[in-house]
Structure 1
Amino acid sequence: MTASCAARKAPPRRPERLAASGRFVGVHLLALLLLLPASSDACGDPPEFVTMKRKGAFESSYKPGDEVLYECRLGFQPITPGQVLSVTCQNDNTWSPLQEACKRKRCPSLGDPINGQVIFANGSTEFGSQAHYVCNKGYYLAGPSISYCEISGDGVNWSDNPPICERIKCKPPEAIQNGKYTNSDKETFEYNEVVTYSCNPPDGPDEYSLIGESKLTCIGNDEWSSQPPQCKVVKCVYPSVEHGMILSGFRPKYYYKATVVFKCNEGFNLQGDSTVVCGVNSTWEPELPKCIKGKNTYWSFSFSISPPNEHPGLISFRMGCQLFHSPLSLSSTGFLVPLHFLPLKELT
C-alpha cells in the first residue's frame, strides 16, 4: 500500500487590527460592569438622624435583610431605655421606618445663690441650655454671669461653678483741696451710703465755693455716683449797668451762683437778659445786659360819626388807636391826627 501525506494547510490569520479592536471593546465592557450596582436588589445609604448616629463600620452596599444599628449622640439619651435602635433593608429596597428615639440629657439642678437668683434662658436644664445669674440690689456678682449645659465625658454638666453674690462696698472717695467729707475716717462704705462734702473756712478775704455735687452715693462696687466737687474761690466783679439799676441781689461781694436782677432807668430799654448769675469761671452768665435809650411813644385816638342822612334815626361811631414814636400835629379841634388808625369796634 502506498501512503501519501499531503501537507495540512494552516488556517488563515486574523488581521492584527481586528484583534486589537476586540480587546478594546472588552476593556470598555468590563469598565461598564464595574460601574453598575453590585446588585439591583440593594438599599441606598441608611437614614441620618439629629439625635442618633450609626453604630459600627459603614458598608459600601446593603442587601435585603441587612441591619444597621444606631446609638444616641453625645448629650442625648434613649427615650425608652433598652430599646434597640435599628433599621433593616427591606425587600422593596427601602429601609424600615425609625423615628428620633433620643432626648437631651439634663444637667444637675441649680439653686439660687445667696442674695441672688438663677434664671434659665429656655426654662430648662437640658443639654444646650443656659443659666443666667443675677444678684439682688446692693450685691454684685463674683464669678461668671452665664453657665452652659455642655458635654462632660459621657454625660453633661454645667460649664462653670455657680458665682457668689457679694455685698457692694466702696473705697473712700477722693479727698479734695480746701474741703472735706463726712465719715472720712472710715475704710469702707456700704451700698447706698452717702458722704457730704463741704469747704473749709476761708484763709483769706474771700470764701471758698463748692463746685459740683456736694453729696456722693456708693452705687456700685467701688463706684460713687459722681466725681468729687471742688472748693475754690469764685468771685464776680460788681455788676454795674450804665443807665440801669439792680432790682434785687444786693450784696457786698458776689460769689458762685450769686443772682442779680436788673432794671433800666426811665426812658431806656433793656437789651439782653434781666437776670444774671455768677458762673464757675468768675464771670456773669449770661453777660451783663445793656440799657439803650428808647424813643418816646405816643398814643393817638380817633373816632368818626356817620352823618345822619346815611343812617336815618341812627348814629354810628367808629373808634381806633395807634402807637407813634414821635409827636403828631394837632387839628383845629385840638385832637391828634394820625395818618392811619386801627379800628377797634363799631357801634350802631
Structure 2
Amino acid sequence: MAVLVDNLTPWLLALLWSTVLLSRGAADCPKPPEKDHIVLTNESLLKNSFPKGTQVAYVCTNGYEILNGSNSITCTGTEWTEPDLTCKKKDCGYPQKLPNMILNVNEGTLLGASVKVSCEEGYRLIGSFFKRCFSNGWIGRAKCDLVVCNVPSEVIGGNHTWTSAKKPHYGDIIQYSCDPGFTLNGTSHVICQGRGVYNTTPPTCEAIVCDLPSEINDGRHLWTSADQPRYKDVIHYSCNTGFTLHGSSQLICQSPGIYNSAPPTCKEDKSTTPSLNITSTPRPPIQGGIHTLAATEDNLMNTEASSISPPALEAATVPATPGTHGNVMELDNIKETDGDTKDAVSLRHNIVMASVLSTILVVLMVMLIFYAYRYRWRRGSYDTQEDLKPGLLQFQSL
C-alpha cells in the first residue's frame, strides 16, 4: 500500500501543476491588436504574456503623428480595452525656397507629397527637379545658377564690346563693329539667352572691294592686278598722246564698294591755228619823219598746238631816221603780251628752220636735175663723134 502511494505521487503533482497553469492561462489576454499606422511600442512587443490588468502602449508608424486619443490599452482578463488613438500623416511644411527658385506645391506638403522645382528666367536648375516629403522631411537638393554664355570669339577685320574675362550672363548684349575697309555681314549684336546660347550667330566682317576698273577709249588705267581693288585703293587714268583727259584722273574705291566718281574720258586736242595780223593805225604826219608802221601777215603759223593760245601782238611805232623815205617794218620790235610763252618762240624758230631746210632741198634738187641733163647731153655728143669717125677717115683717104 505504501509502495502504491509512492508511485502515484509524481503523477499527482504533475496533474496539480497543470491544473494551476490552466487556471492561470484562462485569465490572460491575447496579443494586443494593431491598426493602420498604429503599432506597439518596443517595450510592449517584448512581453510574452498579458495577464489581467496588463497595459500596453501604441505609437504611430513612421511618417505619422498622434492626432488625438489615448496611446494605451488594458487587459480586462480575457480581452483588451478598445484603442481610441488616431494618427495622421506628418506635414513636412513648405519646402525651403532658395534664391531665383520656383516651387510648385499643388500636391500639398504632407507625407508622400511631391514638389516640382524650377528656376526663374535667366537661371538654370542644378540638382533634382522634385522634392518629396518623407518621415524625416523633404528629400531632394537643388539650386538655381545664373545662365552664362561662352565668351564671344574674335572677329577678323572687326571687334566686339565684351572686354571682361568673365562669361556673359543672361540678357547681356554684345555689340559688333568692323574696321575701316570692312563691311558687317549679319546682325550687329547678339544676346545671351536663357539656355546659355546666343539668339543668333555672331556676324562676320568682309573686306570692301570695288569692281575692276573699266577701260576708256584713247586712254588707259594703271591697275594691273587681277584682284579687285579694295577699300581706299586708287586707280590712275591717263590719255594717249594727242588727247586730253576730261574728268578726274584718279578713282578711289569707297564704301560700300563703289568709286568716288565715274571714269574720265579722253578727247582729241583741237587747238586753233594761230595767225598774226598787224595793221597800222593812221596818225597825223609829224614833222621829223616819224610816222606809223603798217604790216600785215596772215597764216604765219599753220600748225596745231595743244591748249596754247596764240600770242597777242601789238603794233609798235619806230621813229624814222631823218632823210629816209618809205615805210620800214621792224618785226623784231613786235612786243609779246603776257600770253606769249617759250613754246610760241620755239614754234616760230621751228618754222624758220623748216623754211630754210625746204629751200636747201629745192636748190639741191634743181642742181641734181641740171647736172643730170648736162651729163646726158655730153654723153650724147660723144656718141655722135664716134659714129662720124669712119666717115671722116674714108673722106680723108680719098
TM-score class normalised by the smaller sequence: 0.3 to 0.5
TM-score (norm 2): 0.35
More helix as a share of residues: 2
Structure possessing the higher relative contact order (Cα contacts under 8 Å, 6 or more residues apart): 1
TM-score (norm 1): 0.39
More strand as a share of residues: 1
Higher gyration radius (CA): 2
